[in-house]
Structure 1
Amino acid sequence: MSAAPRASSGASPRPTAPTAPTAAPAPLGSRAGRYAWYGVLLVLGALVGTAGALVQAAWFPGGLLVALLATASLFYGGLRATGTQVGVVAAGCGWLLAVILLSFGRPEGDGVFGGGAGELLFLFGGMGIAVMCATLSRLPRPTP
């Protein structure tokens, strides 16, 4: 059974009046969206730095590898999420701020970092990963 074509009633379609363009929400790649990503990456960097400082000392050497892997994932994700090296810098600043604040300690002797080899590997390894991710080439922008 084939469908028969519909008979038109003879009325032509009504012309529609042009509408004014509506304001579309700002895309994620816009300046405000990128600044929001930088703020999120700064906070995530502080969280990953804090968690890495605790994990690397607790389960050495496996914890050190997990902490450095999380750090590398954050930095590379920041590069890909924002499309610029500033995403790595924002995440790196949060990470470094957390690691530096945790290394100060208190006059009573309480501190997260004891000054061993694992802490130094975490500090210098994280900074090295940040430099590597910041110097990676960016993906070309897609053409519209």
Structure 2
Amino acid sequence: MSTAGRGSMLAQPMRRPSAGRITAHVGLFLLGAIVGLAGTLVQAAWFPGGLLLALAGAAGLFLGGAYALGGRAGAVAPVAGWIVAVVLLTATRPEGDFLFGAGLGSYLFLLGGMALAVICATLAPGRQPHDGPVRLGK
């Protein structure tokens, strides 16, 4: 195959995502928020087992979303929901209520969840064109 033919095969215009794909991303975003809320409550209740359970649940959702949707965007959607929920729960209210204490477990949950988000988004399969059995870049 000539270079011109291969270049035109890879330079395809972007298509709009389908309604099902958008729904899946919104669902993963909401699941990420729910897992963040549940992890916030569990990590403090049964330390250190609750912390490990909360982080394992988050990692499973992040990586599972990536494999379910076949790309890194499947990992980014639940990560965004998780981060929004956790950041909103770290803010103190005027009444003085808060869910995160200033303990080691809270910091491990926040930093560990962010590290897992980066790891799972990196390990997620990238979207590849399905034109031929050859490797890209050759």
Range of TM-score over shorter length: 0.7 to 0.9
Aligned to 2:28: 41
Q: Distance in 2 between matches of 1:31 and 1:138?
A: 20
Aligned equivalent of 1:68 = 55
**TM-score, normalised via structure 2 length:** 0.77
Q: What's the Cα RMSD here?
A: 1.7
Retained in 1: the 8 A contact 2:90–2:98?
yes
Partner Cα distance (2:65, 2:27) in 1: 10
- Show the counterpart of 1:134: 121
Q: Which residues of 2 match residues 73-112 of structure 1 at below 5 A?
A: 73-112=60-99
In structure 1, stretches of 5+ residues that fail to align are 1-29
Alignment of 1:114-125 (within 5 A): 114-125=101-112
Instruction: Return the offset for 1:105.
Output: 1.8
Count of paired positions: 114
Q: CA deviation at 1:31?
A: 2.4
**Aligned AA (2:32):** G
Determine which structure has the larger helix proportion and give its number: 2
Query: Aligned residues: percent identity?
Result: 54
- The one-letter code matched in structure 2 to 1:60 is F
- Stretches of structure 2 lacking an aligned partner (at least 5 in a row): 1-16, 132-138
Q: Which has the larger radius of gyration?
A: 1
In structure 1, the partner of 2:9 is none
Give me the TM-score of the superposition, normalised by structure 1: 0.74
Look up the equivalent residue of 1:122 and give its one-letter code.
F
